[in-house]
Amino acid sequence: MNTHHENESFSSILVDMSQILDIAPLRSFVAVADTGGFQRAATSLHLSQAAVSQHVRKLESATGRPLVERHGRGSRLTADGERLLSQARRILALHDETLRGFGRRTVETVVIGSTEHAAAQLLPSLSTQLASSLPDHRFRFRLDRGTRLREGLTEGRVDLALLLGPSDDPRATPVGDLKLTWYAAPTWRRPPAPAPIPVVAFDQPCALRTRALETLAENSIPAMVNAEAIQLAGVQAAVGAGLGVALMATLGQTPEGLAARHDLPAPRPLPLAVWSRQGLPSHTSTAVAQALRGLLTEPGRLATRGSSYAEVEFAQGA
């Protein structure tokens, strides 16, 4: 009889073990809710989609309820999933707070995308600022074209993006304006009118290219694109070779081997904004936006040329 009771106790323990809400599955579940899909959640957590799906199935087994259902190309939570979501956030917050209380840090990786225009001078200093304001985060930077960064935000491959141009989008937080400067080789001479000004530009689409041609046109100065490049190094090399002038955002730091040209019309600055992916915690995007505002209003805080920033991915394009 004692053996029977022991077996019943052992069985009840097994049942209880199957109903545990583990931390890793809860993180995957919250990521699915925040990003709107399994693949996006997997990308944001740096896991496989199969792992995220398995985590959600484990939670559904533990609760005995369906938690996520398909909705178009993405996913949405069921009514029971919504109930679990609020509790999952509380559990994760308490879990992380408890670890911090024991001096253990939970490190979250945040991928920040940027075009080379914004990255050239800002990222070294931004990395330093964020290490101080968000010590529990690890930052990885990806340099790519603006169109691909926007796609990355939608797909969850990029958490934040620093983008030039209009910011009339709910995902965008304006942080300031980047002053633009014309540059040429030191020996370059402006051709006499009515000869067109040769311009070195990034491939389309590019906010700097558009602003350069608009500025010259608005001042009735003929221009032609004489050289194109997909990356900043290519633009600077072409300008250094005397192929024309280029409009750049350098925050007052003249690129090596080039000279600023003040005999061309002063262009209007370009707005810079921080774009956030769906579901990113607001305190993360707020900290990045505040750091950028500080760097733009106090240029003296910018890192000097030659500073390095860790974990930078370069994509083809700028």
Indicate the Cα dihedral angle 212, 216, 222, 224, nearest 10°: 0
DSSP state of 224: E
Q: Which of 80, 101, 122 is the last residue of a domain?
A: 101
pLDDT for the residue numbered 175: 87
Are 68 and 119 members of one domain? no
Looking at the structure, tell me whether residues 91 and 202 fall in a common domain.
Answer: no
End-to-end Cα distance, the chain: 76
**Do residues 123 and 254 both lie within one domain?**
no
Question: Do 185 and 76 belong to one domain?
Answer: no
Which residue range forms the structural domain that includes residue 151? 108-176+271-314
Shared-domain flag, residues 230 and 92: no
Residues 13 and 58 in one domain: yes
Cα separation, 248 vs 181, in Å, equals: 6
Domain count, the chain: 3
pTM of the model: 0.63
- Cα separation, 278 vs 33, in Å, equals 10
Task: Provide the CATH number for the domain around residue 242.
Answer: 3.40.190.10
Token pair listed for 305: 């040329």
- Residue 119's pLDDT is 67
Domain limit, last residue, from 101, 116, 149: 101
d(CA 239, CA 237): 5
pLDDT along the chain (318 residues), means of 10: 49 57 90 82 81 92 90 82 90 85 74 77 78 79 84 82 80 86 94 92 88 95 92 90 92 86 92 85 86 76 45 44
CB-based contacts of 281, cutoff 8 Å, min separation 6: none
Closest-CA residue to 88 (of 109, 74, 69, 67): 67
Last residue of a domain, one of 101, 121, 147: 101
